[in-house]
Structure 1
Amino acid sequence: MKRKTKMDDSHFVPIVSDGAIATGGTADGRAIPVLVVDCENHKEVLNLVHLHTDSPPGDVNCTWGINKKYAFLLFSFSKPSEVNFGVKFDLQSQANLADGIVQSQGVYIQPSVFGKRVAEGLDSPKVLVEVAPRTKIPDWDERLVKAMTKKMRSHGMSRRQAKEAAKDYFQRTRELWALRMGSV
């Protein structure tokens, strides 16, 4: 039985932009997605990032949720301070980003006050969060393919063409997420 939880939109921190960072010394050289988030109405997230710069790694639990339109990643930090928030990904336009987090098993959270683009805040504080494989939703792949198939159908592809193209799209993007940087 699936548990449904209704969350107020105010719980979600808006994603302003995204990108990825890959270094030989982090996550075995995997590219890790970066979410640049708007903390204007979420000062607790900005404070959390500042606290992480001067403290040891904290404790966080991550939970994925998904519906027909969105994938949700919920964060529950207990150290260095208690902060709960989520981010949501439109499956029509951000499925690759959400899947990148699943594939790389992590995500950086960078407040937009340090720059609205990843490159602008490259040397600024950000939090690296491990997103354990056990958090992945069991039918994740099928749901992503279904959402991407729908998008491709809206661009005039037949059902069969769209489904094959969606599968191919995720296969190719996962090849990119699997690339590793050498040690520096």
Structure 2
Amino acid sequence: MIKRRTAKRLTKRALDPADIVPVIADGSITGPAADGRMVPLVIIDTTIRPELDELVRLHRHLPPGDVTYRWGQAERDEDLISLSLSFVRPIAVRAALMFSIEQEGIIVDNALNSRAIYLQPGRPGDRLKHDPHRPKILIEVADDDFRERWEDIVVRRLAKVIRRRSRIPREGARWLAGQWLARSREITGFRLPT
């Protein structure tokens, strides 16, 4: 069973490295729980964070809880985007997910556009296809001020990657980055009728 969590934005605070939870796999889910939208799913390594396993387990038996969130860009690495989560109930726990724009930008873009993300505990090697019914929670991450900045951040970063790999002019690289963003939104914008 998937429980929906209501979310509020976090106030700005420094990211605690102890909160970072590795993302070990990703995928997408669509269906009635997300109003037909395609929502990204991330499987996180909870090997040393059993409290996150417990959080998801409790959601199978209790009403939806509350979570606050904040998107941000790493100060020292322009390729990293963070999603800081602070769960309030049923238990208080914090987690931060880090995404490389170059490798996982589509996850961030899809989460921002669908205004949600699924969180599933796991271990290294786990994949959604291995156990699609494993417990997970749906976290609503409504639009915030980061959404307004995201498009410029992703196009600028991807243009740098394209220029580094292909040595094409800046304007051509920005155009290709914009095309990548448009194509990925065509794929992730899929919606099932509800």
Q: TM-score, normalised by structure 2?
A: 0.86
Name structure 2 gaps, 5 residues minimum. 1-10
Q: CA deviation at 1:79?
A: 1.1
Output one character per residue of 1:9-65: Cα deviation in whole Å (capped at 9) or x when no partner: 331110001000011x12220011000110012111111111111111111111101
Equivalent residue number for residue 175 of structure 2: 164
Asked whether 1:151 is paired with 2:158, we answer no
SS of match in other structure, 1:172: helix
CA contact under 8 A between 2:99 and 2:105: conserved in structure 1? Answer: yes
Counterpart pick for 1:118 among 128, 131, 134: 128
CA contact under 8 A between 2:112 and 2:147: conserved in structure 1? Answer: no
CA contact under 8 A between 1:110 and 1:121: conserved in structure 2? Answer: no
Distance 1:114 1:128, change over 3 A: farther
Equivalent residue number for residue 65 of structure 2: 58
Name structure 1 gaps, 5 residues minimum. none
Equivalent residue number for residue 127 of structure 1: 137
Equivalent residue number for residue 37 of structure 2: 30
SS of match in other structure, 1:139: helix
CA contact under 8 A between 1:145 and 1:163: conserved in structure 2? Answer: yes
- Greater strand content: 2
CA contact under 8 A between 2:116 and 2:142: conserved in structure 1? Answer: yes
Distance 1:82 1:135, change over 3 A: farther
2:99 & 2:39 partners in 1: Cα distance? Answer: 16
1:125 & 1:33 partners in 2: Cα distance? Answer: 15
Output one character per residue of 1:133-182: Cα deviation in whole Å (capped at 9) or x when no partner: 12534311100111111111121132121110000111111122221112
Output one character per residue of 1:57-115: Cα deviation in whole Å (capped at 9) or x when no partner: 11111110113121100111111111111101011211111111101110111111497
Equivalent residue number for residue 11 of structure 1: 19
Asked whether 1:108 is paired with 2:115, we answer no
1:39 & 1:82 partners in 2: Cα distance? Answer: 16
SS of match in other structure, 2:72: strand
Equivalent residue number for residue 43 of structure 1: 50
Alignment coverage as a number of residue pairs: 180
Q: TM-score, normalised by structure 1?
A: 0.91
2:16 & 2:63 partners in 1: Cα distance? Answer: 31
State percent identity of aligned pairs.
31
SS of match in other structure, 2:182: helix
CA contact under 8 A between 1:91 and 1:144: conserved in structure 2? Answer: yes
